[in-house]
Chains A and B, each alone.
Chain A
Amino acid sequence: MIKRFLYSQKVAPYVFVFPFVAIFLVFWVYPLLSSFGMSFQHVTLGQEAEWTGMDNYQKLMGDSVFLKSIGNSALYMVLTLVILIPFPMLLAVLINNKRMWGREFFKSAFFFPALTSVVVAGTIFRLMFGEMEGSLINSVLGVFGIEPVKFLKGHLTGFVALLALATWRWTGVNILYFLSGLKNIPEEYYEAASIDGASAFQKFTRITMPLLKPTTIYVLTISIYAGLAMFIESLMLWNGNNSPKNIGLTIVGYLYRQGIEKNNLGYAAAVGIVLLAVTMIINLTQLAFSGMFKKED
């Protein structure tokens, strides 16, 4: 009887999707709700929680370290967008040219950095941006007569190192995204444009860019998310969550510091909820502006 029920065509789909529903409820819905609840409480691991209303949020608004972490994450996100969308797009268009020599090799070589873990990549970059005269970047600067820079001690120079790491790891990946988008643009469009006497630049702005829009939106969406949620890059570059004057502290870094290092779970949960709200608002606005929610005709 039970077997008959489970094997019927009406019940089978639910059996197939059941694992997702279970995981979704246990590991997404429940933690999200509990996080939301925790953000209104004072919680320490292994102790009775205590309701404190909006206290955590009020404290957050006046917490200068938290505001600094938001500033850092926002700046990082904006700068990664500025670097990691236009340049990979341009490189993808150039590499897509079938007559170019060695394109397969370049595609692979650009992708290599994405194969390394952030732990390994971060360690390499921390050493490259070391403050000694002989460290890689400083020795290059030395050739131009520039004094050694203490990269990881300053806000601006620290960000240079962070962005170098991000650019190194993600350029190749974004190139691949744009290449897969370019594959969907019919060759005839360019041929027709050539007959009409369009220049290469006109073809790029009038054909390539508009038709790459879905890919650009995808890359934009995941980059906003990844930028705002960045943590391990900073953790590895500064060899810990404590950078001088918090120059490398990000929102998730602050969440980690409050929640795990200080066992202040309620406060950390409030940080998480703010991050969720900011990510969702920015991404939904961005998607609305780019017309993603309009019905396709």
Chain B
Amino acid sequence: MKKNTALNIVLVVVFAVICFLILLPFYAITLASFKPGEELIRYGLNLKLDFSVMSLDNFVFLFTGDHAYFTWFFNSLLLTVVQVVLTLLVSATVAYGFAAYDFKGKNILFICVLLIMMVPFEILLLPLYTLTFNLGMMNSYSAIILPGIANAATIFFFRQYLSGIPKEIIASGRVDGASEYGIYARLILPVMKPSFAAMAILNGMNSWNNFLWPFMVLSDSHKYTLPIGLKTLLTPYGNNYDLLIVGSFFSILPIFILFVAFQKYFIDGMTAGAVKG
């Protein structure tokens, strides 16, 4: 018993040190958001707790200043919500097709789902870019939403989840005279609810932090999402650190709060792919 306690202390110390290193950048950015941008340019990002230069000025500027931060913030929020709702509905529908029926071509199609998970999306950037250009969809949110709407990882997760739901539900629905679509909408969707939470969070996180593809599609600064907007504050001609740092700090908050509130679902969503892959 004594040996266990000693071991435990060593373990906790090791983990505490790692934990300290992991939380350090968060502490640094939090501290920097209370200091003027000049301070950062002159002395670099550091851990000095100097109350003489610290103030709430950056936060006042964030909430009252003349800039587009909250336009970007609400664009990101809108895009994330729309993207999550559409992706979940479409992916769940597709997953149900795979899980509930045997049909010709099912295996080949499902291999395509797995294949998508292995092809780096980055390869498609240029052809997608020209396609979007030719379709006249540049600068639109639909160009961002559409390619990801049947998300492979999400379909895969839902299909795994649905394979655990008894087929008798479907059979009893048919006996009661419900149509194939009625069975899905009224009997299956309600049972899938728990799995929606995990996938909503995973997709929401990806969407909130998505950068490269939206960056290529959107050119109108009123349509920018938060990561793109923050990136434009970094210019070769001097950076707008006042807004950048406090804005970065504030952009982490929504996801942070969601994480603390729905931690279990986050973890389920993140590990979805690894469960008997």
Chain A positions within 8 Å of B, measured between CB atoms, are: 7, 9-10, 12-17, 19-21, 23-24, 27-28, 30-32, 34-35, 38, 43, 45, 91, 94-95, 97, 99-102, 106-121, 123-125, 127-128, 130, 132-136, 138-139, 168, 171-173, 176-177, 179-181, 214-215, 217-219, 221-222, 225, 228-229, 231-232, 236, 239-240, 252, 255-256, 259-260, 265, 268-269, 272-273, 275-276, 279-280, 283
Contacts and interface: CB of A to CB of B under 8 A. Distances in A.
B275 interface: yes
A262 to B, nearest CB: 12
Interface residues of B, number: 91
A94 B18 CA distance: 13
B212 A231 contact: yes
Contact of A109 (B4, B19, B125): B19
Contact of A176 (B18, B121, B267): B267
Nearest to B76: A117
Interface of B: 4, 8, 11-12, 14-15, 18-19, 22-26, 28-29, 32, 40, 43-48, 90, 93-94, 96-98, 100-101, 103, 106, 109, 112-113, 116, 118-131, 133, 146-147, 149-150, 155, 179-181, 184, 205, 208-209, 211-212, 216, 226-227, 230-231, 234, 236, 244, 248, 251-252, 255-256, 259-260, 263, 266-267, 270-271, 273-277
Contacts of B226: 117
Contact of A45 (B122, B133, B209, B271): B133
Given A12-B101, A31-B131, A112-B26, A280 B118 contact: yes
A252 B44 contact: no
11 contacts: A19-B90, A24-B116, A28-B124, A91-B18, A119-B248, A124-B45, A127-B28, A136-B44, A168-B25, A221-B118, A259-B129
* Most chain A CB neighbours (cut-off 10 Å) among B96, B98, B118, B181: B118
Contacts of A118: 209, 211, 227
Given A20-B150, A100-B8, A130 B130 contact: no
* Most chain B CB neighbours (cut-off 10 Å) among A28, A101, A179: A28
Nearest to A278: B120
| In the A-B complex, the 4 residue pairs with the closest CB atoms | A16-B97, A135-B44, A31-B127, A117-B209
Contact of A117 (B184, B251, B276): B251
A110 B22 contact: yes
A255 B128 CA distance: 14
A15 B93 CA distance: 9
Contacts of B32: 127
Nearest to A178: B274
B277 to A, nearest CB: 5
Contacts of A275: 120, 122-123
B118 A124 contact: no
Given A99-B8, A124-B248, A239-B234, A232 B126 contact: no
A50 B122 CA distance: 24
B199 to A, nearest CB: 15
Given A119-B227, A135-B44, A221-B118, A30 B131 contact: yes
B128 A31 contact: yes
B244 A123 contact: yes
Contacts of B40: 127
Contacts of A265: 126, 130
Contacts of A214: 276-277
A256 B267 CA distance: 33
A254 to B, nearest CB: 11
Contacts of B149: 19, 23
B184 A16 contact: yes
Contacts of B19: 106, 109-110
Contacts of B121: 229
B230 A123 contact: yes
A228 B120 contact: yes
A126 B43 CA distance: 14
Contacts of A180: 271, 274-275
A124 B25 contact: yes
A13 B11 contact: no
Contact of A7 (B46, B98, B180): B180
Contacts of B103: 10, 13-14
